[in-house]
Every structure is written in structure tokens, then in C-alpha cells.
């Protein structure tokens, strides 16, 4: 069905799926649509048209800020000069957007149903395109309000901008300070949220609910707020401060920081120290990340003897797969034991290995000629990368060969940022947190951030998100940050920025 749907879509530009909705669901949507026509607002009626000269509406402020609002658009000629309706309400509306399918129960139930999701997956719509333009325009307004010059770079393509605001220091020849955050967020499943996931609702407990409140729009806004407050106070610093907002971090920085770092544009920023995202902490201390494990996504493409399922053939792909999986899981157990035997270790201190994909097979009675297994590996700082890779190849040879190893991702070993007297930026950072009586806990980041690309070119970088006494909810439903924690974070960044920018 996957191929058939794609073929039909490519040929016709649309697909028809019979009996996709039940009669009851169709009637529910019809009644909901009828009610929308009859209950449309009586004032502020907007006209929708597809003619080219009206495309400019996409640049208006209302369009950029209406992703979580239901908007009504009327047909041209349906509304009089004084806003009165000139035609039957049932034919007056052109469309209803933008958040109708999120906010309206009848439309939400269908739009986010498992059936629709399955069709989207079959049509390869599992990686939706993200429009960054509204974010860039928002940042441009902030730059204008703060009287800061702003540049937009496109290191990969025009869909993935890198925005940099700059506050020039007293000694601009000194290496600069970079405050980095990313614009993109992971997808949401609105039906699992108690608040609109992009509504930034604040409940009676002062919790701000929205995707990105932890990862990591909150930190980007704290960077801006801290710099705004420092500028208003008349503060001056030795070093230039750059505030960057990059795209595509959640997908590995393929079109954001990774291609940006090798460019002349990045080198021109003359970065001497960078700060990026950290994690929330459920207790009073704040984690401080000075290194990351290297991500290897390893594919074993295993060939073997093929034949009928009634036979006991030698050297089959299944036997080889079983051996490779066993070896990888054996290594995994050693890392589990390390964690269990040493309570001072955390997950970032060990190597994690997890089987994430299996594939192959022709039909149920055929011994397959090829099987595939993929492992997500995060190599700890104490791993000898050459030795680890040599073991992978040895295991393949030991089981009889015929196994090709490929990598979806294979990051090099990147030295950690020094957190000792050799790093003056660390000393300035630590002095700021000590003076504010903040307990920080240096550790190795469990996942991957854009800091790895910055550290890879020898620039010290620390990951820090001032969100203590906050459950870790990045990528989770009902992601939130307490308003007082957010505001306290702005004060913390003011102190830290003041210190590191005067090193």
C-alpha cells in the first residue's frame, strides 16, 4: 500500500482512500463545519484571496503570531464595506485556520488519529518542513528594540538560517563570547497535552506550558533578556558578545551549526568561549556540561546463505546476526555493571549501546540472503575509538565474514572543555555561580548538542540551562518551566555574562 499511495500521489497530486472515515465521523465534521459557518465572528471579518497581490498577508504580524489561534477568512464579495455579510453564511467562508485542527475537538479527533498518522508515515511525511521565517522576523524586531546589529547566514540552504545579534565590546579584537541556542523544537502530540503546546499558557502555579520551554527557547530568550537588562544598566564589557540562534539542532545540526562552524563567517565572529544548552534539574543543583559522548550509529549489513526454510543451511545471515547482537549486548552489560558498581558515575560517564533497527527477510518460509541490524552507540570519553572499531570488525570476521559495516553517523573524539585553573572562562563562570550561592554539578552531557561542533575546533564551550527544581521534560508532553525559575535564570545569566565578558 505504501508504494501504491505514493504512486497515486505523484501521478495525480492527491490520493483517494475509500471508507477512510465512518459515516458518523463524516456527519460530525459536517455538523462542525456548518456550525463554524453559522457562528463565524460578526466583526473584524478578513477577506481571503489567492491572487498574487494579496500574498503579502503572509508577512503580517498576525500571521506570524496566529499558529495557536482559530482564524476565519471570508470569500471576496461576501462582506460589505461596513463588515456586514452580503451572502448566505453557508457560502461566505473561504477557510478557517490556523489552529482549527488543534483547538476544535471534532477536527482534532480526526487530524491526530492513528489512521492519519499511518498515512503520513506511508507518504514519508515523518519529517515535516519547518518554516523559520517568523522566528527570524521576531529576532529582527528584538534586535531593533535592543539597538543591536543582526546578521542572518545560510551555511547550508535558504531554509535553515543562522541568526547572530552582536553587542560590540570595548576591545573587539579580543576573542568574543557566544551565547548559542536553537530555534527548532521536536514535534508534539497535542492530544497528550493539558495545554496548547504552543500557547505558552501559565497556570495557577506559575507554570508556563509550551514546547521549547526547556529545550531550549527559554534559554535563548534568557540570553536576550539578560543582554537587554545589561545594556539598559549601562554596562560595558571588554569582549564582544554574540547571541546566536541556529536551525536544525534537533536533527543533529546538519543544516545549522555543523556547516556554520567551518565557514569564514563563523571564523569572523572570533569566538573564544561559548555557552549552549544544558538540562533542567529536579533538585536544587544545576548541571553544568563540559563534554559530550561521540555518537556512532552503526549498521551491520549481514549476508548469508539463502534457501528454503525447511533446511538447516550453514553460514546463514540469521546466525551471524545472533552472534553480532550477542557481542554488542555483552559490551552493553559491562557498561550497566559499571553504573551499578560505582554510584558516583552517571549515564554520561559510560558508553551506551542500544539496538534500534532490525530489517530483512523475503517471506516467512525463505532463509534471507541479507539482514540488517543497527545500534545507537554513544562512546564515552574513556573509550579508545580505534580499539572499539577494531572489535566491531573482529566480531564480523570471527563469525565468518560477509558483513559490511556502515555508519549513519560517526563522530570523532572531541576533547572536553577544561574545568580547572587552565580555563579563565571557567573560573569566571564558577566565580559568578559561587557569588550567587548556586550549586553546580559538572558532568558529561547524555545526548548531543551544537556544542560538540564548537568544541571540535578548539573553542571551550559549556552547556548550562538555569532550571533547577524543575522536572526534566524536554521532548515530553506538557513541557513547562516555572515563571519564577525563568526570571531567576535571567538574573543568573546577567551575572555570568558580566564575568566571562570581562575576562
Cβ contact 189:285 at 8 Å: no
475 known member of a binding site: yes
Q: Which of 249, 276, 292, 450 is catalytic?
A: 249
Cβ contact 224:164 at 8 Å: no
Give the containing element (helix H, strand E) for 265: helix 264-268
Three-state secondary-structure class, residue 497? helix
* 41/62 Cα distance (integer angstroms): 17
Cβ neighbours, 10 Å, residue 296: 22
The strands making up 201-202's β-sheet, listed across from edge to edge, are 201-202, 207-209, 480-482
- Residue 355 C-alpha cell reads as 539496538
Q: Do the bridges between strand 176-182 and strand 241-246 make them parallel or antiparallel, or are there none, so unpaired?
A: parallel
Q: Is 249 a catalytic residue?
A: yes
Report how many helices (DSSP H) and strands (DSSP E) the chain contains, helices first. Answer: 16, 20
382 known member of a binding site: no
Choose among 205, 250, 275: nearest CA to 471.
205
Cβ contact 220:181 at 8 Å: yes
Buried b / exposed e over 51-80, threshold 16 CB at 10 Å, is eeeeeeeeeeeeebeeebebbbbbbeebbe
308 known member of a binding site: no
182 known member of a binding site: yes
Phi, psi of 471 (to 5 degrees): -65, 145
Q: Please provide the DSSP assignment of 122-171 as one string.
A: HTT-SS-----HHHHHHHHHHHHHHT--EEEE-SS-TTS-EEEEEE--SS
Q: Is 184 a catalytic residue?
A: yes
Q: Which of 184, 248, 276, 349 is catalytic?
A: 184
173 known member of a binding site: no
Annotated binding-site residue numbers: 182, 215, 250, 277, 475
Just list the catalytic residues: 184, 249
Annotated binding-site residue numbers for Zn(2+): 182, 215, 250, 277, 475
Amino acid at each position: 500500500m505504501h508504494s501504491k499511495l505514493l504512486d497515486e500521489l505523484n501521478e495525480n497530486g492527491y490520493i483517494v482512500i475509500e471508507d477512510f472515515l465512518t459515516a458518523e465521523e463524516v456527519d460530525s465534521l459536517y455538523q462542525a463545519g456548518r456550525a463554524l459557518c453559522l457562528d463565524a465572528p460578526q466583526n473584524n471579518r478578513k477577506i481571503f484571496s489567492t491572487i498574487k497581490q494579496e500574498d503579502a498577508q503572509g508577512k503580517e504580524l498576525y500571521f506570524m503570531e496566529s499558529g495557536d489561534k482559530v482564524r476565519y477568512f471570508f470569500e471576496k464579495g461576501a462582506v460589505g464595506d461596513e463588515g456586514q455579510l452580503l451572502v448566505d453564511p453557508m457560502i461566505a467562508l473561504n477557510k478557517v485556520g490556523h489552529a482549527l485542527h488543534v483547538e476544535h475537538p471534532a477536527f482534532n479527533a480526526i487530524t491526530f488519529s492513528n489512521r492519519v498518522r499511518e498515512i503520513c508515515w506511508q507518504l514519508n511525511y515523518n519529517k515535516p518542513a519547518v518554516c523559520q521565517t517568523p522566528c527570524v522576523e521576531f529576532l529582527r524586531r528584538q534586535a531593533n528594540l535592543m539597538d543591536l546589529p543582526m546578521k542572518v547566514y545560510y551555511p547550508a540552504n535558504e531554509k535553515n538560517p543562522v541568526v547572530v545579534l552582536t553587542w560590540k565590546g570595548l576591545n573587539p579584537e579580543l576573542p568574543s563570547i557566544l551565547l548559542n541556542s536553537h530555534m527548532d523544537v521536536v514535534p508534539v502530540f497535542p492530544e497528550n497535552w493539558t495545554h496548547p503546546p504552543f500557547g505558552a499558557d501559565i497556570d495557577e502555579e506559575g507554570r508556563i506550558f509550551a514546547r521549547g520551554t526547556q529545550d531550549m527557547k527559554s534559554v535563548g530568550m534568557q540570553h536576550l533578556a539578560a543582554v537587554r537588562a545589561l545594556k539598559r544598566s549601562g554596562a560595558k564589557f571588554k569582549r564582544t558578545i554574540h547571541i546566536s540562534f541556529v536551525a536544525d539542532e534537533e536533527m543533529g545540526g546538519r543544516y545549522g551549526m555543523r556547516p556554520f562552524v567551518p565557514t569564514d563567517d563563523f571564523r569572523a565572529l572570533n569566538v573564544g568561549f561559548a555557552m549552549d544548552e544544558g538540562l533542567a534539574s529536579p533538585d536544587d543543583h544545576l548541571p553544568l556540561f563540559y563534554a559530550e559522548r561521540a555518537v556512532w550509529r552503526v549498521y551491520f549489513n549481514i549476508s548469508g546463505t539463502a534457501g528454503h526454510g525447511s533446511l538447516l543451511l550453514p553460514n546463514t545471515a540469521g546466525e551471524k546476526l545472533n552472534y553480532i547482537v550477542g557481542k554488542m549486548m555483552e559490551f552493553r552489560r559491562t557498561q550497566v555493571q559499571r553504573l551499578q558498581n560505582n554510584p558516583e558515575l552517571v549515564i554520561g560517564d559510560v558508553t551506551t549501546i542500544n539496538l534500534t533497527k532490525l530489517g530483512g527477510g523475503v517471506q516467512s518460509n525463505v532463509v534471507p540472503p541479507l539482514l540488517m541490524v543497527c545500534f545507537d552507540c554513544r562512546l564515552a570519553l574513556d573509550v579508545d575509538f580505534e580499539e572499539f572499531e577494531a572489535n566491531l570488525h573482529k566480531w564480523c570476521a570471527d563469525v565468518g565474514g560477509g558483513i559490511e559495516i556502515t555508519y549513519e553517523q560517526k563522530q570523532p573524539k572531541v576533547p572536553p572543555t577544561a574545568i580547572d585553573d587552565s580555563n579563565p572562562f571557567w573560573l569566571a563562570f564558577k566565580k559568578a555561580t559561587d557569588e550567587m550561592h548556586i550549586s553546580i554539578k559538572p558532568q558529561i552531557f547524555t545526548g548531543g548538542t551544537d556544542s560538540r561542533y564548537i568544541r571540535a575546533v578548539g573553542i571551550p564551550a559549556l552547556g548550562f540551562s538555569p532550571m533547577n527544581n524543575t522536572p526534566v521534560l524536554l521532548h515530553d508532553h506538557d513541557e513547562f518551566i516555572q515563571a519564577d525559575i525563568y526570571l531567576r535564570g535571567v538574573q543568573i545569566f546577567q551575572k555570568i555574562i558580566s564575568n566571562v565578558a570581562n575576562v
